[in-house]
Structure 1
Amino acid sequence: MPTILDFTSDPLAFMQQYPVWPVPGVDVARGGDFTVDDRGDDPTLRLALAPYGARGTGSQKLEAATTGQTLDVLYLKWASKRITKLTLNMGFRRFFFTSAINGCSVFVTGNAQAPTVYHAGIDGKLIDLSDHELAGVPAGCVRAARAGDAPKFWRLLIQARVHGIAIAAEVNKSDYVNDGTLVNKPGLKNWFAWASVATTALAKEFGNTLWYRGVLGAEVIPWGSFWGMKDNNNDWSFYLQENAIVIKSDATQKGVVMRLRRVFPAHSVIFTNDGSDV
């Protein structure tokens, strides 16, 4: 079973092998009005690593803990209908995580020695919000919400709320859960009753790779994790771990890392899974 020490010894190798689901870390009390909430008053969290079968065999979760093998990290909680932010210019923590992303957008601004990370999301769907709930939100954001365009909504909102913001990196749901790509999947009751479902181009490609390798009829459900680390020069880099739950025809579920890529300070693909370990 992997350990915190395995992660800290070689973070990039660890994040290529094990899909990691960070603790949700939602702050209900500090959400609700589509403003920016600086989380500098609550920047750290002590985490432990544990298996997380809900995301497939092999997946791991980071959860708050006070005993056992733990790791103190800079941690950005999220709050529904709000943009949370944290500037990483304090302390000696080497690692950063934000709450699990499941349709949320994450933005990075600033330079590598003092970047600011923003986490924007909602519990539910923007398209379902009432006019009252969107009161005070810029008109362009309202139009994006009505169109169900979450990435555009959060991008326009942060530009309106943070004057002069220069976004250096952005991760949104199209990067890790749904970019509009369609795949066919068999029906639950009738295997021959195929239906189209939305996914990502990467997940579709990975499913095709598995097919060519003889893993037939597998369903690939994408999800992602955003994290960062600081090097010996005190420069931060941030990464998107593009994961999937692979449901095989025998109903077994395996968690896999499809791709690991750096998104800040410069984009670079670190790892791409060839499907040989599924």
Structure 2
Amino acid sequence: MPKDYNELFKSDSLGFMKKYTVTPANHIGSHGTTIGDLNLKRKVKVYQKDTYEYNQMGPGNLVGYINFTKVPHNTVNAGQKGNIVVTGSYTFDPNAVAVHYLPWYDQKIISLTIPPMPPNGGGTRYFFTAAINGCSVFIKGTQQSPTIFHAGGKTVKPGSDPKDGAKFWREMMRTRTETKTGKILGEVNKTMYVTDRKDKALGTANSRLFDAWLRQNPNGFRIEDVDPHGCVFGKREGGLWTFYLQENVTITYTSFLPQPDGNIVEKQHSVMRPLQVTEVFPNGKKHVKVNPLLSRPLKA
């Protein structure tokens, strides 16, 4: 009987995120696919000839209904094997997982404020934002009613220090009229989950350690590449929210298949695996899980 990944997530959301790589879509459903579906607040020119906008999620987009689907190992879609894909819509679905969902739009900052838990309990218990591969995510406010910002788009020239990209979005948060109120209490930027070096191929400190471990323990495979990326999610316990960064890696490797004629056929594979989950709000950089031994081995 196939696994119900929605139920697995709801029964132990943190355990689920430790076990599976999760990549949420840029946005969910047809309602929300264009920036016109959100409440536009202001448009500000802030970098060279590019225009960056700040937008706040509208009342009809505060809660979405998502589904978790695992991409099977034998899929022909390289780079997705073993991955949990998140899709959904803003239309109520009793079988889906209700979440506060924050989308991504190019060269924009999008924010979502989560309302406090209703006096009699209930309300939405989970948060996701679109998968991140260079964006910054900021959290302000309180554990009862946080505001989350997803900032993404071109910031600095290719090959520059990734710290400059993180600084760019941080400065935007500090200088914009709409976002400068309140202290940034949680931050995720590209140096934490993509690369902390000018050469992106070098990844992060954690992915470099993992890459080295894989190459020392190849288990009969040739390791070609370890490419890091991330996912930011949140969960509410009682009336208090906690947010996490899931550090993920896509592992590209080659297997060797003996043939009846004595030849060896090489076959390339790509799989995704979670590397580490870290609490980023309210307790920044609190490590929850490290997976240095690849509990689910690579497959031929």
TM-score normalised over the length of structure 2: 0.74
The reply to whether residue 57 of structure 1 matches residue 57 of structure 2 is: no
Deviations 1:224-251 (A, max 9, x none): 000000002x100000000011111221
Paired with 1:17 and 1:170, the residues of 2 have a C-alpha distance of: 23
27-36 or 68-77, which deviates more: 27-36
1:220: Cα distance to partner? 0.8
Deviations 1:13-62 (A, max 9, x none): 10011000001115344687424211142211111111245543211011
1:275: Cα distance to partner? 2.3
Please show how residues 22-171 of structure 1 align to structure 2 within 5 Å: 22-25=24-27, 27-29=34-36, 33-41=51-59, 42-52=61-71, 55-65=79-89, 69-90=95-116, 92-122=123-153, 125-127=154-156, 149-161=164-176, 162-171=179-188
1:257: Cα distance to partner? 0.5
Paired with 1:272 and 1:148, the residues of 2 have a C-alpha distance of: 24
Structure 1 residues not aligned, in runs of 5+: 130-144, 184-196
Instruction: Supply the AA of the counterpart residue of 1:13.
Output: G
Instruction: Supply the AA of the counterpart residue of 2:81.
Output: T
In the alignment of these two chains, the number of paired residues is: 247
Paired with 1:230 and 1:9, the residues of 2 have a C-alpha distance of: 14
Instruction: Supply the AA of the counterpart residue of 2:111.
Output: K
The reply to whether residue 225 of structure 1 matches residue 231 of structure 2 is: yes
Tell me: CA distance 1:76–1:257, structure 2 relative to 1, closer, same or farther (3 Å): same
1:214: Cα distance to partner? 3.0
1:198: Cα distance to partner? 3.5
Deviations 1:126-162 (A, max 9, x none): 3469xxxxxxxxxxxxxxx999922111100010012
Query: Contact between 1:181 and 1:200, CA under 8 Å: does it hold in 2?
Result: no
**3-state SS of 1:20 partner:** strand
1:69: Cα distance to partner? 3.4
Paired with 2:13 and 2:78, the residues of 1 have a C-alpha distance of: 23
Paired with 1:165 and 1:217, the residues of 2 have a C-alpha distance of: 49
Query: Contact between 1:28 and 1:80, CA under 8 Å: does it hold in 2?
Result: no
Instruction: Supply the AA of the counterpart residue of 1:95.
Output: Y
Instruction: Supply the AA of the counterpart residue of 1:106.
Output: V
Larger radius of gyration: 2
Paired with 2:78 and 2:9, the residues of 1 have a C-alpha distance of: 21
Paired with 1:262 and 1:148, the residues of 2 have a C-alpha distance of: 21
| Larger strand proportion of the pair | 2
TM-score normalised over the length of structure 1: 0.80
Superposition RMSD on alpha carbons, in Å? 2.6
The reply to whether residue 239 of structure 1 matches residue 244 of structure 2 is: yes
Name 1:172's counterpart in structure 2: 189
Deviations 1:168-202 (A, max 9, x none): 0110111111211759xxxxxxxxxxxxx342121
Deviations 1:100-119 (A, max 9, x none): 21211000011111111011
User: Identity of paired residues, percent?
Assistant: 30
The reply to whether residue 258 of structure 1 matches residue 275 of structure 2 is: yes
Structure 2 residues not aligned, in runs of 5+: 28-32, 44-50, 72-76, 118-122, 256-267
**3-state SS of 1:149 partner:** helix
Name 1:7's counterpart in structure 2: 9
Query: Contact between 1:47 and 1:70, CA under 8 Å: does it hold in 2?
Result: yes
